[in-house]
Amino acid sequence: MRTTYTIHAYDTHRGTRTTAALLGLSATPREMFQLQPILERLRQALSRWQADVGDLGDIAEEEMVRRWWPDGVQPVTAAVSFAPIAATAMGLELLSGGSSGGSSGGSSGGSFPHPCRLQLHCPTQGASLAYATDRDPADRWRLYGEPVPLSTGVTTVRARAVRIRCADSEVTEACFTVEESFS
């Protein structure tokens, strides 16, 4: 017979009374009493594991924010830079672009021969990068994972960086002209 048993126990770690449900057991009440030490052993193993991995589940969110944001100021993820890779540019020089929020509307990323790919770079360790181009009919942001191929013609690229605990970077924007190369 499958049934659900409930064990009421005092949680010495948290100082509260807790309830643990054991599902699908066929056991007598006496056998359930014998399961209490097993439950306690499992809780101790969980506590050890949480300490080993540095689990923050028991820390209040306000305390985490105090730890993450020095002096109560949220850090900002650094802006994205562009590095074109083409026959005339080996992807070693970073171009900062411009802020799309400003009146300049971005900057010229430069002219390059086809084929051309665009690397994105952010100095904030662990940041995820996203980009969008004016050539995407859906005008959606894409997660950056490898250099972006640029088609011939003019392409405007917008990029931003996101890092957990930090405010998103400003949007960086630049226009790139890729010219058909004739050999």
Structure tokens at 39: 């439950």
User: First-to-last CA distance in the chain?
Assistant: 81
In a domain, 70, yes or no: no
Same domain, 85 and 49: no
Same domain, 11 and 44: yes
Instruction: Return all residues near 19 (Cβ < 8 A) that are at least 6 apart.
Output: 6, 7, 8, 9
Give which of 42, 67, 38, 41 is closest to 54, Cα–Cα: 67
Number of domains in the chain: 2
Is 152 exposed, middle or buried, given 0-12, 13-18 or 19+ CB atoms closer than 10 A?
Answer: middle
* Overall pTM > 0.75: no
Q: Which residues span the domain enclosing 128?
A: 81-179
Calpha distance 122→127 (Å, rounded): 7
Same domain, 86 and 128: yes
Tell me how crowded residue 33 is: count the other CB atoms within 10 A of its CB: 11
* pLDDT by 10s per residue, the chain, length 183: 555 556 666 665 566 666 666 555 566 666 666 777 878 888 899 889 988 998 888 888 888 888 888 788 889 999 999 999 988 877 666 666 665 544 334 466 888 999 999 999 999 999 999 999 998 878 799 999 999 999 999 999 999 999 988 999 999 999 999 998 765
Same domain, 91 and 35: no
Same domain, 49 and 108: no
